[in-house]
Amino acid sequence: MISDFHIHSVYSDGDLLPSEIAERYRVNGFDRIAITDHIDFSNLDVVEKLTKISKEIENIELVVGAELTFTPVDKIEKLAEKARSCGAEVIVMHGESPVEPVPDGTNIAAIESGLIDILAHPGYITDEVAEKAREQNVYLEITTRCGHCYTNGHVAKKAIEHNAPLIINSDAHHLKDLLTPKKAMKVGLGAGIPKKLVKEIIHENPDKLYSRKTTNKT
Ligand SMILES: [Zn+2]
Ligand SMILES: [Zn+2]
């Protein structure tokens, strides 16, 4: 199964409606995607909208997600709980990207909350972040998004050293950003990850992440 677990729609700052994103990803050869619009405490209704549309989309598996963005560090847990109770199945934390002023301590606080599935574009991660991601089974993101991707090589190196799980996502906002399996492969290899491991990250890690979630639910 091929998946992309970090995509934005018109419900936050993306260009496309969920139904168009779904169809275009099906055409690109994907089996499952998570739409993870930006949320803070003001717009949790976005998660409810995604829940509604996910029930109607049948051409691809559409997972309801949310990306906690620029959240004060001491409010991460509260917002993640709210997103979960509104129906978010995959929770992405907008990590400490090298190109945005994300609050210091976001990476560690997100992992320690125990409620985050993916730490997106985590930037210049420390050994402590990589080690805690392994302990908590939080997926560290290799991103195909411009700017955020500057630290892909660093993230990959630290994740491999500490045996923390990796995932490759697009963080797509526009039509040109939508992922293809070929692009995911290129970006994984470009981050210095060995080919065998890139294949595993693309083909197996999203399943592991998602099946863990469905097991937790029961
Ligand atoms: Zn955005
Ligand atoms: Zn994003």
The whole-chain average pLDDT of the chain stands at 96
pLDDT of residue 213: 66
Residues having C-beta closer than 5 Å to ion ligand 2: 67, 171
Q: In whole angstroms, give the CA distance from residue 163 to residue 10.
A: 36
Ligand nearest to the CA of 13: 1
101 Cα to the center of ligand 2, angstroms: 14
38 Cα to the center of ligand 2, angstroms: 7
In the predicted structure, residue 212 carries a pLDDT above the cut 90? no
Q: In whole angstroms, give the CA distance from residue 8 to residue 37.
A: 5
Predicted confidence (pLDDT) per residue in 165-195, tens digit = 999 999 999 999 999 999 999 999 999 999 9
* Residues ≥6 apart with Cβ < 8 Å to 52: none
Q: In whole angstroms, give the CA distance from residue 102 to residue 147.
A: 14
Class of domain 3-213: alpha beta
Predicted confidence (pLDDT) per residue in 22-78, tens digit = 999 999 999 999 999 999 999 999 999 999 999 999 999 999 999 999 999 999 999
